[in-house]
Each structure stands twice: as C-alpha cells, then as structure tokens.
C-alpha cells in the first residue's frame, strides 16, 4: 500500500531527475538534475518559457515518460521502477490528468468518456458511476450536454469535460497542462475556484501555465529554466531578474541553518552577503548605547536582508537573529554574485536601493539620528 505523504515523505518527489533524448546530433538534455517535492493539499503552478522543460517535467510526474536517471515518487510509489502495465493501472486510480489538447474519444459521448475512465480504474462501484459522472459534469456546467459528442462542443467546453474526466476516480493528485488556456475569463475563474475547492478538500493540484497572474494565485510557483528548477525563495525575493539570471543565482545560493535565537548578522560587522529566508522567521533589532535593544521588525520566508551593506558598503546597521520559536533556514548569496546580477538588472538594483533607503531611514529614526 502506498505510504501516506508526511512532512518527511512528500506526496510528489523528484530526486536527481535527468532526462535526455537521443537525436541524430547526440543526446539532448531536457531535465538536468531536478530535485522537487510537493506536499499533500498544495496548489502548485509550474511556469517557464517554451522549451524550458515544463511538459517533460509533467511527463515525469505522470509516468508518461521515464527519467534517464533519477527517481520519481508519487504517493509513496516509485514510478521509475514500474512496468508500463503497472503504470497504466496505477495512473488510472492515482492521477487525474488534464491534457492541453483534451484527448477525448471522439466517437463517445462526453458522459461515456467519463464513464470509461471509471470502468478502466475500477475504483468507483459500477452502480454509482453514472450518478458520479453526471455530478462531475454538473460541477463543470455541462450536465445538459451529457449525451453530445466532443466535437459538438466548443474548445472551452471540451476542456471542462477533460477536467471532469480527470476527477472521475477521485485521485489524490490532479495534473493539468494549461487548464484555462481555452476558456473565457468567466469560465477560467470558475475552473480556478473549482481547483481551490478541491485543494481545500485535500487534493494536490499541479498546473502548467503561461499566465503569470494565474500562477501568482496558487500556493507555490515553480519556475523551470533550461531544464533546471529555479530556487523559489530567490525567485520571490528577486522577481525582476530574468529566468536565466535567477537560475545563476539559484546555482550560487548556499543554504545555511540557524538555531532559534542565534545571531545571523551582528550590528557593525563588515559582512556583505545577501540573505533570502527559506523557512522560519528572523528578527531585526538595533543595539543602543547604554540602553536596551530595540526591535525593528520581523521577516518571513521569501523576504531578504543584507541589502544595505551590499549597496552602500557600510557596516551592518542592524543585527538579525533567528526567532526564538523555531530554527531558520536562509539562502546566502555572496557579494560578487549579487553585484554582478545588479550590474545586469537596473530594475533589481532600483528595488533593492529603495528598500535599503527605507530601512536605513527607519533605523535612524529609531536611534534618533
């Protein structure tokens, strides 16, 4: 039986996944050492340019394709070890897949398309299958069209049928490739609300989308560039960098861990690294002569510190310590890496300069300078 996903065992996990395709010119690498994990009940969007590896990444998770090297685990099952027959049977019960081009059987009614998925999966009792299929069609607003053939429907309607079919066997994971790409704004919003309801019920939903506005509304956004996963915390902290710049920053970022209450940066030190918080919270405080320390604020995952020393070359104007309540993990970027990136991205430099100026003015006001 598949193991339950826990904090130690994510529902979906890729470990060192490489994928190459053989061509006349030699092996062509598409995925390059992908490490990725998603927990049960998360709503995740995968974004990236055309050719970045998004579809191949989805094919790894669904078992439609196999890694050249590495491991893929879904709900405790090692997909990389399964035969094609085992994979097909397992996929029918454990994954709901919404293909970009629907893949509905054209000679079956839309009701029959959903029933066929249940017949193949064998998970839903036969006496309840038609009732469930009609319920799912009603959920996507197409119950009145149950006996029509797919080609009698618009592209947007076929997309909704594909979503209903993906839900047929009540799988724990729904995977969708551009699920709202063929829908008008009103129907796209209703599908997004449906996904949110499913997530609230404990399902994990993974979508590939080119719609950055849509991606920002999911719990997590995973950016893939040139076959590698961009560090999500670096991407949140420095959103104006290009995907290739974010990838360079991700390769350079070094994870450091701090126990509760420990000092990360000491006021008046000369450290000029840049830090992005990955987990836990940090407290920023100022030391005052002949007076108690004064708290400035608290920072959480995706936020950063160290920008004043980076930009102004001054001694650290505040201390930063891990919160007393839990350990903290931060990604550290060295001065040279950040300086090179800022020289390439005027927008990022302007944003960090503005934050540095605001924080510096706040510190001076607290100290009465």
Complete DSSP assignment for 319-364? EEEE-TTS-EEEEEE-HHHHHHHHHH-HHHHHHHHHHHHHHHHHHH
Q: How many helices (H) and strands (E) does the chain have?
A: 12, 18
- Cβ distance 170 to 204 under 8 Å? no
Q: How many CB atoms lie within 10 A of CB 77?
A: 18
For CA atoms 118, 120, 124, 126, give the dihedral sign.
Answer: positive
Name the nearest CA neighbour of 198 among 168, 174, 221.
Answer: 174
Q: Give, in order, the Cα–Cα distances in Å from 124 to each of 164, 296, 334.
A: 15, 57, 55
Q: Which domains does the chain have, with CATH numbers?
A: 12-229 (3.40.50.300), 247-367 (2.60.120.10)
> How do the pLDDT tens digits run along the chain, 369 residues long?
344 444 457 899 999 999 999 888 888 999 999 999 999 999 999 999 888 999 899 999 999 999 999 999 998 899 999 988 888 888 888 899 988 778 899 999 999 999 999 988 888 999 999 999 999 999 888 999 999 999 999 888 888 899 899 999 999 999 998 887 767 788 788 888 888 988 998 899 999 988 888 888 899 999 999 999 999 999 999 999 999 999 999 999 999 999 999 999 887 777 789 999 999 999 998 877 666 778 888 999 999 999 888 887 666 578 899 999 999 999 999 999 999 999 999 999 999 999 988 888 887 777 665
Q: Are 71 and 14 in contact (CB under 8 A)?
A: yes
Specify the pTM.
Answer: 0.82
Distance, in Å, from the CA atom of 241 to the CA atom of 221, rounded to the nearest integer, reads 15
**Closest by CA position to 156, among listed 129, 124, 135, 179:** 179
């Amino acid at each position: 039986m598949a193991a339950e996903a826990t904090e130690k065992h994510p529902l979906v996990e890729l470990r060192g996944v490489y994928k190459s395709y053989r061509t006349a010119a030699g092996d062509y690498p598409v995925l390059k050492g992908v490490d990725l994990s998603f927990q049960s009940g998360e709503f995740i969007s995968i974004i990236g340019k055309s050719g970045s590896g998004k579809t191949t990444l989805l094919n790894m998770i669904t078992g439609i394709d196999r890694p050249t090297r590495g491991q893929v685990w879904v709900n405790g099952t090692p997909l990389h070890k399964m035969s094609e027959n085992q994979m097909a049977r397992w996929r029918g019960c454990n994954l709901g897949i919404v293909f970009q081009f629907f893949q509905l059987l054209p000679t079956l009614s839309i009701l029959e398309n959903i029933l066929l998925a249940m017949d193949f999966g064998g998970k839903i009792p036969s006496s309840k299958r038609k009732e469930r299929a009609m319920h799912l069609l009603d959920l996507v607003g197409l119950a009145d069209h149950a006996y029509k053939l797919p080609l009698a429907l618009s592209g947007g309607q076929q997309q909704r049928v594909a979503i209903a079919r993906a839900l047929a066997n009540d799988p724990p994971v729904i995977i969708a490739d551009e699920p709202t790409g063929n829908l008008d704004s009103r129907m796209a919003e209703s599908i997004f609300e449906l996904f949110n309801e499913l997530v609230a019920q404990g399902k994990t939903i993974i979508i590939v989308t080119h719609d950055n506005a849509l991606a920002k509304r999911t719990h997590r956004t995973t950016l893939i560039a040139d076959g590698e996963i961009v560090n999500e915390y670096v991407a949140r902290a420095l959103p104006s960098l290009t995907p290739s710049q974010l990838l360079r920053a991700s390769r350079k970022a070094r994870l450091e861990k701090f126990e509760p209450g420990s000092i990360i940066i000491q006021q008046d030190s000369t450290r000029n690294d840049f830090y992005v918080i990955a987990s836990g919270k940090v407290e920023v405080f100022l030391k005052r002569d002949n007076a108690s320390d004064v708290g400035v604020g608290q920072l959480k995952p995706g936020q950063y510190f160290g920008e004043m020393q980076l930009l102004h070359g001054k001694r650290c104007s505040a201390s930063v310590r891990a919160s007393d309540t839990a350990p903290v993990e931060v990604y550290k970027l060295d001065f040279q890496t950040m300086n090179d990136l800022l020289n390439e991205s005027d927008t990022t430099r302007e944003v960090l300069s503005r934050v540095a100026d605001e924080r510096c003015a706040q510190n001076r006001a607290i100290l009465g300078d």
